């Protein structure tokens, strides 16, 4: 598997997570067939079998990941795919290496851009239909919610690069990246049942209660006082608000998907539901007008919106670099 590598995307601020991630990687996936790389800023790891990739100071999340991919492919020419994980994805069950290797072979054979390896998480919804030639895998169709996410996935490096525009945060990558994917011809796949079982143990930089439970059950030392943790009640309140926001966002996304398919009545109904919950805005009015005109107008509006978001991301990165260099521009 010389053309596939496992890359853990991180930064120095999350170095306290590295011992936990790699302890559980060794425990739950002792026969991992891939070379393992850790991306960070300046800090490196002494974890056995892990190659550190230091990319220097932060300018933006997306630029950092692009640099990590550059360093990885320089170190391992011929690498075409990566299994991308984040440092706070702690494995909770043994990994079936044979299954992952088979999936990696399938994505290489069919030149797939992206294969999501989780299917039971809020941002990893299982595909609605299975591929006829590959058991347990489906195509993530155009218009599907959360089409691009940072859940654990096999990525063709060229596809990943195409979505990593300058200045993106992880959240920008998922939202804008999903919209950019609608303009590309990449095959995007997802498993219909989870292959990598893990928990995303941090939220807003704080330990989730379930994350601490994973450490206790694994008999790993609990973290010190350096990183805050949610109480059970705090996290329940946070999750409730997040679920409410997600439902509202999903309603707007549903309207867009209907309009893209020319289903004006359903699109308008979904958009009205979103507006009732959040109040009207200029972008909602524009979406409604474009949606009632038809799919071509909706796609045109989407292209304008994406271009505007990308300009904002690039501007934010330039401002950050100017601030760090002392340049008043």
Residues 6-41 pLDDT 10s = 999 999 999 999 999 999 999 999 999 999 999 999
Per-residue confidence (pLDDT) for residue 329, from 0 to 100: 44
Mean pLDDT of all residues in 255-280: 90
Which run of H or of E encompasses 21?
Answer: helix 18-28
Q: For tokens 């919950």, what's the residue?
A: 277
pLDDT at residue 77 greater than cutoff 80: yes
Per-residue confidence (pLDDT) for residue 16, from 0 to 100: 96
Calpha distance 197→117 (Å, rounded): 9
pLDDT at residue 225 greater than cutoff 80: no
Per-residue confidence (pLDDT) for residue 1, from 0 to 100: 64
Mean pLDDT of all residues in 153-171: 95
> Which of these ranges, 36-45, 138-147, 160-169, has the smallest mean pLDDT?
138-147
The band of 328, judged by pLDDT with boundaries at 50, 70 and 90, is very low
Identify the CATH homologous superfamily for domain 4-202.
Spore Coat Polysaccharide Biosynthesis Protein SpsA; Chain A (3.90.550.10)
Per-residue confidence (pLDDT) for residue 326, from 0 to 100: 62
Q: For tokens 């990566």, what's the residue?
A: 82
Mean pLDDT of all residues in 223-236: 91
> Which of these ranges, 87-91, 163-167, 190-194, 318-322, has the smallest mean pLDDT?
318-322
Q: Is the dihedral of CA 181, 169, 308, 285 positive or negative?
A: positive
Contact 17, 23 (CB under 8 A): no
What are the pLDDT digits (tens) for 199-216? Answer: 999 999 999 999 999 999
**Residue % of the chain over a pLDDT of 90:** 72
Residues 6+ apart with CB under 8 A from 3: 78, 79, 80, 81, 108
Extents of the domains making up the chain: 4-202, 231-325
CA-to-CA separations, 205 to 40, 74, 228, in angstroms, rounded: 16, 31, 8
Per-residue confidence (pLDDT) for residue 52, from 0 to 100: 97
Could you tell me whether strands 4-9 and 35-40 are parallel, antiparallel, or unpaired per DSSP bridges? parallel
Look at 180 and 102; give whichever has higher pLDDT.
102
Mean pLDDT of all residues in 262-272: 94
């Amino acid at each position: 598997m010389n053309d596939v590598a496992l890359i853990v995307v991180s930064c120095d601020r999350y170095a306290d997570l590295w011992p936990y991630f790699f302890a559980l990687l060794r425990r739950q996936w002792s026969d991992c067939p891939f070379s393992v790389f850790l991306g960070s800023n300046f800090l490196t790891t002494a974890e056995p079998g892990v190659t550190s990739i230091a990319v220097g100071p932060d300018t933006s999340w997306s630029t950092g990941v692009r640099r990590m991919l550059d360093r990885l492919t320089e170190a391992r020419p011929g690498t075409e795919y990566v299994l991308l994980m984040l440092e706070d994805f702690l494995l909770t069950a043994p990994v079936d290496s044979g299954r992952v290797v088979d999936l990696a072979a399938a994505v290489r054979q069919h030149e797939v851009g992206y294969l999501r390896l989780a299917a039971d998480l809020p941002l990893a919804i299982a595909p609605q239909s299975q591929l006829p030639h590959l058991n347990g895998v489906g195509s993530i169709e155009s218009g599907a919610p959360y089409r691009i996410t940072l859940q654990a996935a096999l990525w063709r490096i060229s596809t990943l690069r195409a979505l990593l525009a300058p200045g993106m945060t992880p959240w920008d990558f998922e939202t804008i990246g999903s919209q950019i994917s609608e303009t590309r011809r990449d095959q995007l796949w997802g498993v219909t049942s989870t292959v990598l079982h893990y928990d995303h143990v941090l939220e807003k930089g704080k330990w989730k209660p379930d994350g601490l439970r994973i450490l206790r059950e694994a008999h790993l030392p609990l973290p010190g006082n350096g990183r805050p943790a949610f109480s059970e009640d705090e996290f329940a309140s946070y999750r409730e608000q997040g679920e409410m926001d997600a439902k509202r966002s999903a309603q707007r996304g549903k309207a867009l998907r209907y309009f893209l398919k020319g289903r004006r009545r359903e699109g308008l109904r979904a958009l009205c539901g979103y507006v009732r919950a959040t109040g009207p805005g200029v972008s909602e009015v524009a979406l409604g007008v474009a949606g009632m005109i038809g799919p071509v107008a909706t796609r045109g509006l989407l292209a304008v919106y994406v271009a505007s978001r990308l300009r904002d991301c690039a501007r934010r990165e330039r401002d950050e670099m100017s601030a760090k260099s002392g340049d008043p521009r």
